[in-house]
Chain A
């Protein structure tokens, strides 16, 4: 016990609680910068949607709401498994921790897979990718194109965050497999969890702003 305690506590900290506060604070400050990063995109989206309401509605209408809703559910499931992984790590349940980490990775990959194979690929085939092959016959075509610029930037940056998250979780799974975590040392799992949930929160806003605003036509 004493050995485990000493191994879990980095020497610059008084005790485990202080160490936990320090890593939580660091992660939350990082997430605050991430909010500003995505905030710029949200602000740009809001300005241009205000200017070209009809074009954004028409662009949104071209997206597949069912796939968007499915992916939202997948991401919410992954947040549940991630929360359960952190819980398992706190309780020192190694097998449960590995199971939930692997489930979270699989759900994350499902999300990115659906995005790539069923959405972006189809968008490309339907000539909806600005700068590459955009062609739209209806009215407001330039505004619809602008909507798709935002769509690809926002979902693209979000998917990049997902891929980074999956990579982090893969490393954690490997470490968990080697028995690196226990009730005294679970900070890395908890911090990765905060990041994962944050990426989920971003999608919670992207889903209505991109898929739902044109759904009622």
Chain B
């Protein structure tokens, strides 16, 4: 059977890394870095997610088939985010034709 028994030490190492990264991301969030805050927070989150997927979810020792499924899932997520944002982020680039202006939504009352 393709079982791969991972030493307890490996799991404890990964766990220590995850807790350290949580402390790091919480501390960094207390400092005002402007728009960089969210970038740092998401990068740290991606590191943590990778550690969980590679070690706890055994992706590191899984067959290529699982790697393909995992990468495909991320690829489809990227399509979802890219196409949605490419619409919303570019709506102001071209002025709407006469009489076709969208009603402005006022949330800042």
- Given the interface pairs A28-B66, A47-B84, the reply to whether A87 lies near B5 with Cβ below 8 Å is yes
CA distance A55 to B108 in the complex (A): 8
Contact with B along A171-208 (1 / 0, CB 8 A): 00000000000011010001001100110110011011
* One of B32, B65, B84 near A21 (C-beta < 8 A): B65
The smallest beta-carbon distance between B60 and chain A, in angstroms, is 12
CA distance A40 to B84 in the complex (A): 10
A46 touches B85 (CB 8 A): yes
B42 touches A208 (CB 8 A): yes
B22 touches A73 (CB 8 A): yes
CA distance A76 to B48 in the complex (A): 10
CA distance A141 to B109 in the complex (A): 7
Among residues of B, the one whose C-beta sits closest to the C-beta of A184 is: B1
B69 touches A32 (CB 8 A): yes
B interface, over-half SS: helix
Contact with A along B21-59 (1 / 0, CB 8 A): 010011001111100011001101100110011011110
How many positions in chain A have a CB within 8 Å of any CB in the partner chain?
Answer: 63
Among residues of A, the one whose C-beta sits closest to the C-beta of B17 is: A76
| B77 contacts A by Cβ under 8 Å | yes
B81 touches A39 (CB 8 A): yes
B49 touches A205 (CB 8 A): yes
- Given the interface pairs A25-B66, A29-B69, the reply to whether A69 lies near B109 with Cβ below 8 Å is no
| B96 contacts A by Cβ under 8 Å | no
| B88 contacts A by Cβ under 8 Å | yes
A87 touches B6 (CB 8 A): yes
- Given the interface pairs A46-B85, A65-B26, the reply to whether A142 lies near B107 with Cβ below 8 Å is yes
A204 touches B66 (CB 8 A): no
A69 touches B26 (CB 8 A): yes
The smallest beta-carbon distance between B34 and chain A, in angstroms, is 9
Residues of B contacting A190 in the complex (Cβ-Cβ under 8 angstroms): 58
Residues of A contacting B53 in the complex (Cβ-Cβ under 8 angstroms): 197, 201
CA distance A39 to B44 in the complex (A): 19
Residues of B contacting A157 in the complex (Cβ-Cβ under 8 angstroms): none
The smallest beta-carbon distance between A1 and chain B, in angstroms, is 13
* One of A20, A32, A217 near B72 (C-beta < 8 A): A32
- Given the interface pairs A21-B63, A143-B108, the reply to whether A83 lies near B11 with Cβ below 8 Å is yes
- 26 examples of A-B residue contacts, CB within 8 angstroms: A17-B1, A21-B65, A24-B66, A25-B66, A28-B73, A29-B69, A32-B69, A35-B74, A36-B80, A39-B77, A39-B81, A76-B19, A76-B22, A79-B15, A83-B55, A83-B56, A84-B11, A87-B6, A90-B3, A197-B52, A197-B56, A204-B48, A212-B37, A216-B33, A216-B37, A217-B32
Closest 6 CB pairs of A and B: A32-B73, A208-B41, A212-B29, A142-B107, A215-B29, A28-B69
